[in-house]
Amino acid sequence: MEAIMNLIALGDGSCRLLGRLAAANSDTVTIERATSLGAVLAALRERPLSWIVLVDNDDSFQSIEARLATEFGQVTLVGVENVAGAGDAVRGRQHLSLDMTIESVMEHLRQLEHGPGLPACGDPSMRQTLHMARQFAASDASVLITGESGTGKEVVARFIHARSKRAGGPFVSLNCAAIPETLLESELFGHEKGAFTGAMTRRVGKFEEAHTGTLLLDEITEMDPRLQAKLLRAIQEREIDRVGGGRPLKVDIRLIATSNRNLEQAVSDGLFREDLYFRLNVVSLEIPPLRERPLDIGPLAHHFAAKFAKAAGISTPPITQAALRRLSAHAWRGNVRELENCIHRAVLLGQGSPLDGENIVFQRHLRRDDVTVPDAHLGFVGMTIADMERELITQTLDHTSGNRTRAAEFLGISIRTLRNKLRQYQDTRRPQPPVAMMGRELYH
């Protein structure tokens, strides 16, 4: 695999830090040690690559910074604290310290090299996926991102947007599985005042909100086929009709769609339009599950530890090797979302102390067998099949705290089928299973 970054070090501390990087990441970095500022300048002149320059953060730092800026304009310059003990938060992102973990150093350098929004990663398979995403980003072609739930599809979509020519425009996301079919058309295309009962004012839809930017349609396979036809026209013509509107409106968007299902199978089953599939699948990315990218576990764990420590107002806790081994041995059926929740719990339990094996508590996964009732005395004898089905749905939703997407996965049905069942219970005035208002999750 080609090197992903080029590094020059000047100074004792910087060279020591790069030595550690070279030992751990010899296949992903190129390193040059310079003995003087002149040697740094010569390397930059002779090989016009995208260099990151690491310099000891001492009295000479500002003069070196000025000299590089004068001759080369913008050069990524990083100050390295020449003493250990400065911690992970050393005067912002462009300063590193000798006591930072290699994972944290690599994450900082990747953020500097590629800009904000780079997902934390260390596994070759995910780096290759991000490399392809960077190549796709420059075009306006529609992108289809597939992968299991929780792998980070929306994170990759935002990564593409941030590196596109539309980065200055809005990024608008809509979860097609979370919106009832009766409201999804209005959410997408907007509506005029009086278009239907309850439409008291005109509403702008997601297509209009995303004008000059990027529109992400999450879990697009859950969209009703009738609405798929309208979406196809909007993509082809780059124009929409508000519900109840009298004239089409032009929109300028880049479309990204995601799904955790096999779209080719959905097309074969008649659940997804073939012409829409080909229109969306101009370029495609498949996000591997976390169990297939084990080298991502460490960088992600450090990233989430820093994130939740900052939110809690405490210092970023180091993660011990014992904890990393325990994390690496886990199956991660919930992918990155499960890892995020695990580290969040560990940070809250540790309260700033190092995260070790005892802080790592894995969440019990619900199996399909878990949602059945094992004992006959619970009352299934004498119940109708319909009542048993409703009871099973109720228990599953209760276990998932009302998360319909997870409940549908456990039950082995589509989110559309689950919504229809819930609507049926409401229409027949049966008690409806609880559905909690879930907060927005980052990893989809």
Q: Which CATH number fits domain 292-359: 3.40.50.10490, 3.40.50.10140, 3.90.1170.50, 1.10.8.60?
A: 1.10.8.60
Tokens, residue 355? 């995260």
Cα–Cα distances (Å) from 339 to 61, 233, 382, in that order, read 39, 39, 43
| Angstrom distance (rounded) from CA 306 to CA 343 | 10
pLDDT tens digits for 163-208? 888 888 999 999 888 887 778 888 888 877 766 666 667 778 899 8
pLDDT tens digits for 221-253? 888 888 898 899 889 888 888 877 778 889 999
Average pLDDT score, the chain: 78
**Residue 352, pLDDT above cutoff 80:** no
Domain 124-286 annotated CATH 3.40.190.170 = no
Domain 368-427 annotated CATH 1.10.10 = yes
**Residue 111, pLDDT above cutoff 60:** yes
pLDDT tens digits for 265-311? 889 988 899 999 999 999 999 999 999 999 889 888 888 888 888 88
Whole-prediction pTM value? 0.62
User: Among residues 365, 425, 423, 376, which one has the least CA distance to residue 399?
Assistant: 365
**Residue 432, pLDDT above cutoff 70:** no
The boundaries of every CATH 1.10.8.60 domain in the chain are 292-359
| Greater pLDDT, 421 or 402 | 421
Q: Which CATH number fits domain 5-114: 3.40.50.2300, 3.40.50.720, 3.90.1150.10, 1.20.1530.20?
A: 3.40.50.2300
The boundaries of every CATH 3.40.50.2300 domain in the chain are 5-114
Which residue, chain included where needed, has tokens 């009766």? 182
The boundaries of every CATH 3.40.50.300 domain in the chain are 124-286
pLDDT tens digits for 116-162? 555 677 788 888 888 888 888 888 899 999 999 999 999 999 989 98
